[in-house]
Structures are given as structure tokens and as C-alpha cells.
A = this chain, B = another copy of it.
Amino acid sequence: MQRLIKLKEPIPATGQGKRGSHIYRVAAEIMCHKGYGATSMNDIAEAAGLTKAGIYHYIRGKEDLLFEIMKYAMDNVERDIIAPAMEVADAEERLRAIVECHTRSLIGGVGAVTIVLEEMTALTPAHRRLITARKRAYLNFIRQTLQQLAREGKLRDVNPTTGAFGLLGMILWISRWYRRDGKITPQETLDDYLEMTMNALLKTAKKSRR
């Protein structure tokens, strides 16, 4: 069996812990609302309840903050999706774990952080390489799971790369449309996403729990 990607560290703690993660989430919300280019460090300090001097205690500048938010986002992906899914030996169950963990994470509040992950062009080249490598590792993890399913005769007749991108697109889009105060509940969203993704990819998906 092909070896799965190993994370270098178990669960990396980012930035300044809880305080850091609060600032990252608040900053991501504002960047989504105003656009990255139009957001100032002042806007972020104000929303985070810090003075401008206070926020510079945490962050050097806007590009640095963007990079920290992206690292935080990828830490979340590695801790909340890849790490638990990697524990699952059965490929079909692993795929289900990926969909479930990623969907839960998006409806649980990292939507804005996820949208900010698209602002790759604003990073310095060195920072961009680091984030690209971590995104690529996640894509490869999904692709290897689909390749395993193909070897087991369970994958539909689709290219595992196309399948991995299709799956990611469907899930990541949640951050664009899902509203916590909307009519569709978290459980319904999760059930529907499991139903759609597993059937999109598997010849005969086991019925989800509901």
C-alpha cells in the first residue's frame, strides 16, 4: 500500500495561542468583508479591541498577518482533518472522515479563514511557497485515498486528481454560502454533503447514518 503523507509535527500551536487565533479569525472576517486590499491594520486592531500599538505586539504588518492567518488555517486542516482521517485504515471510511471533518470545521466557524486562503497573490514568494506546499499535501492526501479506492475497485470511473479537486471545491464552497443563522442546520448540511460527495466518488456508497 502506498504510504500516506506524514505530518512533520503532531499538532503545531500557532502564533500566540488563543489570543492569536481570536485575532486571526477577526482579521479574516474583516478581510472577507472589505477585501484584503482595502483592509487596514487599524480596521483589524479596532475590531479585535486592541490599540494600534497593541496589535503590533502580535503582528509585524498586513502581509505577515495574512501569512499567519493562512498558517492558522492550514494548522486547522492538519489537526482537525488530516490527523484524524489518517488514523482510519479503510479508504472508504477515511474519505467519509475527510468530508465529515472538513465540513464540520467550515460550518463551525473557519469560513472566513478559509476564504482568506485564496489570497495567495498577496503573499511574499517565500510565504507563498510554504502555504502552497501545505495545500498540496492536503490535496495529495485526498488523492491517495481516492487512488486506494480505485485499486479496491470502489472508485467511480474518474481521474483521482479530478476527483480530489471536485471534492475540495464542493466542500470549500461551504465557506461562501453557509450562514449560521440560516434555515439549513449544521446536521442537515453535513448529511447532505456526505450523501453528495460519497455518491459522486464511489460506485456503491454505504448509506450514511441518518
Contact = CB atoms under 8 A, between A and B. Distances in A.
Interface of A: 32-38, 118-119, 121-122, 156-159, 161-163, 165-174, 176-177, 184, 188-189, 192-193, 195-197, 199-201
A35 B35 CA distance: 10
A121 B170 contact: no
A155 to B, nearest CB: 11
User: How many copies of this chain sit in the oligomeric assembly?
Assistant: 2
Contact of A159 (B33, B162, B184): B184
Contacts of A158: 192, 195-196
Q: Which 9 A-B pairs have the closest CB atoms?
A: A37-B37, A169-B173, A200-B200, A196-B200, A35-B121, A158-B192, A170-B170, A162-B192, A165-B177
B201 A196 contact: yes
Given A36-B37, A158-B192, A170-B170, 16 more contacts: A35-B119, A35-B121, A157-B195, A159-B188, A162-B188, A162-B192, A162-B193, A163-B196, A166-B170, A166-B193, A166-B196, A169-B173, A169-B174, A173-B173, A197-B200, A200-B200
Given A159-B184, A169-B174, A173-B166, A32 B189 contact: no
Nearest to A37: B37
Contacts of A176: 118, 165, 169
28 contacts: A33-B121, A35-B119, A36-B37, A37-B37, A37-B122, A38-B121, A38-B122, A156-B196, A156-B199, A157-B195, A158-B195, A159-B184, A161-B184, A162-B192, A163-B196, A165-B174, A165-B177, A166-B196, A169-B169, A169-B171, A169-B177, A170-B170, A170-B173, A172-B173, A196-B200, A197-B200, A199-B199, A200-B200
Contacts of A163: 192, 196
A200 B171 CA distance: 13
Nearest to A207: B157
Contacts of A35: 36-37, 119, 121-122
